[in-house]
Amino acid sequence: GDSVTQMEGPVTLSEEAFLTINCTYTATGYPSLFWYVQYPGEGLQLLLKATKADDKGSNKGFEATYRKETTSFHLEKGSVQVSDSAVYFCALRGSSNTGKLIFGQGTTLQVKP
Amino acid sequence: NAGVTQTPKFQVLKTGQSMTLQCAQDMNHEYMSWYRQDPGMGLRLIHYSVGAGITDQGEVPNGYNVSRSTTEDFPLRLLSAAPSQTSVYFCASSSPSEGVTQYFGPGTRLLVL
């Protein structure tokens, strides 16, 4: 079945450092890919998405490119801030479009000033 | 629009008790889902629905029951709570006519003693 694998955390960075969180997936057909963020004590917010190969999703300085050849959707940010400290989830929705999401295990990011 | 709302925010149960977690959305979305979030495991799908009167099981359905009598509401029932059901529960909704984005509620934190 479909699955998502994220790099294990926690990830600890200094402010203004470059961030990469790896995400790879297994799916049949043409899934849509997502990054969700969960700030401490809050629910999930959609950070960015991509619906087809080579699409680049971007938001708040974060980017991720849908790479079908490597089945990857790595999250990047050029310069992180303390306010980016959160848990980041990679997720996919299969091409059957029933609204179901498959999530990775989540990666905790801590940014230190 | 209130979006996706969940009640209660926090609940403590004793083993064997039953309860219903409420979820409602005011966006007229056809698809609704329940997930549970556990440390190191991301979010896992419990049950989902593609419309009123239609429900199906997700990855971890055991011990949970759902029904969907209206488009707006999708309650999750715990028939006989167990400590293994201690978790944070998220409800989500989406519509195929609005693309692939799912909207999440704020979550219900459940502790089973």
pLDDT per residue as tens digits for the range B2-20: 799 999 999 999 999 999 9
Residue type, A50: A
Cα separation of B34 and B74, whole Å? Answer: 9
- Inter-chain CB pairs, A–B, below 8 Å: 64
B94 touches chain A (CB under 8 A): yes
Residue B100 has pLDDT above 80, yes or no: no
Going by pLDDT thresholds of 50, 70 and 90, the confidence category of residue B92 is: very high
Per the listing, tokens 């998405």 go with A49
Q: Is A4 helix (H, G, I), strand (E, B) or coil?
A: strand
Residue A40, preceding peptide bond in cis (omega within 30° of 0): no
Distances (CA, A) of B102 to A29, A36, A113, B89: 20, 10, 33, 15
Which pLDDT score, from 0 to 100, does residue A2 have? 87
Angle, CA of B81, B85 and B88, to the nearest 5°: 125
Q: Categorize the per-residue pLDDT at A34 as very low, low, confident or very high, splitting at 50, 70 and 90.
A: very high
CB–CB of B33 and A43 under 8 A?
Answer: no
User: Each residue of A36-53: pLDDT tens digit?
Assistant: 999 988 889 999 999 999
pLDDT reading at A14 higher than 80: yes
> Distance, in angstroms, between B92 CA and closest chain A CA?
9
The whole-number average pLDDT for the span A82-88 is: 96
Under the banding of pLDDT at 50, 70 and 90, the label for residue A64 is very high
Tokens coding B37 = 């979030």
Identity of the residue numbered B20: T
Average pLDDT over every residue of A57-67: 97
Say if residue A97's pLDDT is above 70.
no
Q: Do A98 and B90 touch (CB under 8 A)?
A: no
In angstroms, the CA B50 to CA B68 distance is 9
pLDDT for A1 equals 83
Start-to-end CA span in chain B (Å): 36
pLDDT band at A7 (very low <50, low <70, confident <90, very high): confident
Q: Which of A36, A43, A102 sits opposite B105 (nearest CB)?
A: A43
Q: Which residues of A touch B106 (CB under 8 A)?
A: 42-43
- Compute the distance between CA of residue B54 and CA of residue B69 in angstroms, rounded to an integer: 9
Cβ A99–B40 below 8 Å, yes or no?
no
Q: What is the pLDDT of residues B39-59, one digit of tens each?
A: 878 899 999 999 999 999 999
Establish if B106 touches chain A: CB-CB under 8 angstroms: yes
**Closest chain A CA to residue B35:** A101
Average pLDDT, chain B: 93
Rg for chain A, CA atoms, rounded: 13
* pLDDT above 90 coverage of chain A, percent: 75
